[in-house]
Amino acid sequence: MDKKSQKKILVVDDAADIVDVVKTLLMTSGYDVITAFDGAAGYELAAAQKPDLIILDILMPKMDGYTFVKRKKYDQSIKDIPVIILTGKAEMEDLFTLEGIKDYLVKPFDSKQLLALVNKYLK
């Protein structure tokens, strides 16, 4: 069995089409993918499933990506899980940096760039 297939990635985005594209891309690359369509559901899944990586949108209902990241920092069980932000808001880069987010992609994103970032964390 390919080692990558054991790596679990949580994708949290309120846009179903984005979730579908990312999920298909990651599954085709041999990753196990779980999904949520709002920040609150995503946070619950992260705490319950302890994924190896989280791909997170910023603007979402119930809990936005910033609140998610801020809460995650203080949750011992998930604070060390790396996060890649997928956003339509490139101008928010300074806020990402403040929250310790090193990697983000602006929508529409390039699938090769996304896979490169994922592989950076999960190789």
- Domain boundaries along the sequence of the chain: 3-122
Residue-wise pLDDT for 5-30, tens only, equals 489 999 999 999 999 999 999 999 99
Residue with tokens 């990312």: 22
Query: For a pLDDT cut of 90, what percent of the chain falls above it?
Result: 72
Q: What is the CATH number of domain 3-122?
A: 3.40.50.2300
**pLDDT for residue 4:** 52
Q: Mean pLDDT throughout 33-53?
A: 98
Strand, coil or helix: 70:
helix
Q: What share of the chain is helix, strand, coil (3-state, %, to 5)?
A: 45, 20, 35
Mean predicted lDDT score pLDDT of the chain: 90
Query: Any idea which residue has 């995650």 for tokens?
Result: 72
